[in-house]
A = this chain, B = another copy of it.
Amino acid sequence: MREKGLLIVLSGPSGVGKGTVRKAIFSQPGTAFEYSISMTTRLPRHGEVDGVDYFFKKREEFEALIEEGKLLEYAEFVGNYYGTPVDYVRETIDSGKDVFLEIEVQGAKQVREKFPEGLFIFLAPPSLTELESRIVTRGTETEEAIKGRMKVAKEEIELMDLYDYVVENDHVDAACARINAIVIAEHCRRERVAVLYKKMLEAE
């Protein structure tokens, strides 16, 4: 009897280091996650391989996939589309493997709507985790600089509401260890495990 895989969505403010953490997770020996390769209409850069770095598509192909509901999320940046193909995600989860997405905050919102049972992890910038010490050392900053930082911090905290977990990116290795722990813990959740046991008994 096989448990379904988890959809793990890592997101957070731009510049927080999502890509670095994702690369570190996939460079660990024995990583059990499947990385969901994004689809884009931008041209391959030197050395990028179709099906490895991205699925490279023509604009009309991408728009046809949007129409058919084949994208879990998508966005347009600087004239190019970027998105996550839904079929790969569903097939991998159904096969019992965990899928890992590393996407922008706007994309995470779309995924939450379509896939509420996903596991949403917010990567918090050290600037946010250092909020308290910044308040303490405020004497060294102008009133305006403090207000600006506080405004940004407030906006970042409001973004968290959509997520199940918040991981501080104080150090890449520490952030990866927390993400791994979260996935292990989620596989131990009673709802998930009890359903499996009950199915086994019913199969009797």
Contact = CB atoms under 8 A, between A and B. Distances in A.
Interface of A: 1, 121-122, 124, 128, 131-132, 135, 150, 153-154, 157, 160-161, 163-167, 177-178, 180-182, 184-186, 188-190, 193-194, 197-198, 200-201, 203-204
Nearest to A186: B185
A201 B165 contact: no
B128 A197 contact: yes
Instruction: Summarize A's interface: helix, strand, loop or mixed.
Output: helix
Number of identical monomers bound together in the oligomeric complex: 2
A197 B161 CA distance: 12
A14 to B, nearest CB: 19
B185 A165 contact: yes
Please give me the 4 A-B residue pairs with the lowest Cβ-Cβ distance, nearest first: A185-B185, A181-B184, A181-B181, A166-B193
A163 B178 CA distance: 22
A195 to B, nearest CB: 10
A198 B164 CA distance: 16
Contacts of A154: 201
A181 B185 contact: yes
